[in-house]
Amino acid sequence: MKSYKIMTREELQALLDELKKGFVDAKGKGLSLNMARGKPAATQLNMSMGLLDAFNSRVDPVTPSGIDTRNYGELIGIPEAQRLMADMMGAPYENVFVFGNASLPIMYDTISRSYTFGVNGSTPWCKLPKVKFLCPVPGYDRHFAITELFGIEMINIPMDENGPDMKLVEEYVKKDDAVKGIWCVPKYSNPAGITYSDDVVRAFASLKPAAEDFRIYWDNAYAVHDLYDEGDELLDIIGECEKAGNPDMVFEFCSTSKISFSGAGIAAMASSKKNLEWVKKTMAIQTIGYDKMNQYRHVLYFKNLDGIKSHMRKHADIMRPKFEAVLDCFDKELEGLEDLVAYTRPRGGYFISFNAIPGTAKKIVAMCKEAGVTLTGAGATFPYGKDPEDSNIRIAPSFPDVDEMRMAAEIFVLCVKIASLEKLLEEK
């Protein structure tokens, strides 16, 4: 097919008319499909039901390390869980605290703590006239929601296939001591699905921040979430920061939300001992300890990193066909739009990122909704929900099954085409 770009007005209009009929048919099907959130499907969750049996009433609730998981205490988690989560992040286990059921509250608490009490003795952010965060875009809406809530000014940082634009990051961090942090999803990023290159990780580790309380907020959410046997490799940021003489510059987060149960996993934070000691000071007032029984349940079931990896291969077998259904449909159906739209082809994670013709993303999402396909709101992948180009759309191909995924992708493609044609006609 001819590229839309070189079609005449008449050709565009004829195609649009035809596609609009297809859209009316699609709406008639009364679909209800959800690709809005990175939500595991029931089939994935089913694979983890063995967790419930791994810790039953006949199992000794006291860990090999001698902790009664049922009672109070052990603020930083049971050592067995520290080891499991450390191995998953590739961090030394003494640098790891294990928390409750999700990593989002740990990130929130880390920001909240800095806001109220400062970082390792620095001025609390609530006492400063201005605090800024760098936000690689497109990024994770829930990160941006936290910083927005605390009144932190967010600055967009463009990304390419290797990670954030490090020249720009270096410049901001070096020149402005109001810049206190940067949000990163370094592996299978949300939503682009890219993994930061070794050079990018090393550039992060070598930052020379003007602010002593500048930290990299490294959300390693998809550390073991490969779709293919050969996964992306991410350099260990904690080790790199140590090597570069910046041992305290990073807080790393991870969880089993997309390994075991999304509502009932375990989560962890890795950082320098100095940072963790600081965290512990207020954490000891906030809680007596997180749910050690659930920590132990995970240890009993997965045993070690190999156990997690073999479990994740089962996830991949469920997820891969869904990603491929979407990408196959895009490859086939977006003919004529190749040089006008773009999409990522991730080898892991939970998302595909789609860049539509600028000025059409909101429209595409609205049309999809009309035809029964719910997508993440356009703009959600940018701070303040504002995509300056109105172009990026996050696609989450996890929750529906493969057939539904295919149908949803077809509707999506149809809406992309219609919105693109209308835009092109508008501009003729």
Residues in the site for its own copies, rule: CB under 8 A? 37, 39-40, 42, 45, 48-50, 52-53, 55-57, 59, 61, 68-74, 100-102, 104-105, 108-109, 112, 115-117, 126, 142, 145-146, 149-150, 257, 261-264, 282, 285-294
- In the bound complex, what is the minimum distance in angstroms from residue 131's beta carbon to its own copies? 13
Q: What is the SS3 assignment for 383? A: helix
Sign of CA dihedral 9, 15, 16, 18: positive
| Amino acid, single-letter form, for residue 162 | N
Closest separation in Å from C-beta 355 to its own copies: 26
Please identify, using beta-carbon distances, which residue of 225 and 417 lies nearer to its own copies: 225
CA–CA distance, 217 with 271 (Å, rounded to integer): 10
**Would you say 74 or 242 has its CB closer to its own copies?**
74
Query: Between residues 23 and 150, which has the closer beta carbon with respect to its own copies?
Result: 150
Task: Give the shortest CB-100-to-its own copies separation in angstroms.
Answer: 6
Q: Which is nearer to its own copies, 74 or 404 (CB)?
A: 74
In angstroms, give the least distance from the CB of 102 to its own copies.
6
Structure tokens at 26: 């699609």
| Alpha-carbon dihedral angle through residues 310, 314, 320, 322, given to the nearest 10 degrees | -160
Q: From residue 290, how far is each of 53, 85, 106, 295, 389 by CA, in Å?
A: 21, 15, 12, 9, 43
Q: Which is nearer to its own copies, 50 or 388 (CB)?
A: 50
> Residue 150: CB partners within 8 Å, gap ≥ 6?
111, 112, 115, 125, 131
Least Å distance, CB 256 to its own copies, is: 12
Identify which of residues 104 and 364 has a Cβ nearer to its own copies in the complex: 104
In the bound state with its own copies, the residue whose beta carbon lies nearer, of 155 and 293, is: 293
Q: Is 428 exposed, middle or buried (0-12, 13-18, 19+ CB in 10 A)?
A: exposed
| Beta strand pairing call for 33-35 and 96-98 | unpaired
Smallest distance, Å, CB 191 to its own copies?
17
Minimal distance, residue 44 CB to its own copies, in Å? 9
Among left, alpha and beta (phi > 0; psi -120 to 50; other), residue 193 is left
Inter-residue contact 115 to 312 (CB < 8 Å) = no
Q: Are 163 and 137 in contact (CB under 8 A)?
A: no
Nearer of residues 8 and 282 to its own copies, judged by Cβ = 282
164 neighbors 157 (Cβ within 8 angstroms)? yes
Backbone angles phi, psi at 87, to 5 degrees: -60, -35
CB of 143 to its own copies, least distance (A): 10
User: Which of residues 195 and 376 has its CB atom nearest to its own copies in the complex?
Assistant: 376
Closest to its own copies by CB, 93 or 117: 117
Nearest approach, Cβ of 208 to its own copies (angstroms)? 30
Of the pair 8, 287, the CB lying nearest its own copies is at 287
Question: What is the nearest approach in angstroms of its own copies to the Cβ of residue 70?
Answer: 4
Burial class (CB in 10 A: 0-12, 13-18, 19+), 385: middle
Question: What minimum distance in Å lies between the beta carbon of 149 and its own copies?
Answer: 5
Contacting residues for 147 by C-beta, under 8 A, at least 6 apart: 111, 133, 135, 154, 181, 183, 383
CA distances to 77, 214, 222 from 255, in Å: 14, 23, 9
**Residue 257: which of 243, 268, 271 has the closest Cα?**
268
**Cβ density class 363-374: b for 16+ within 10 Å, e for less:** bbbebbeebbbb
CA 60/CA 43 separation, integer angstroms:
30
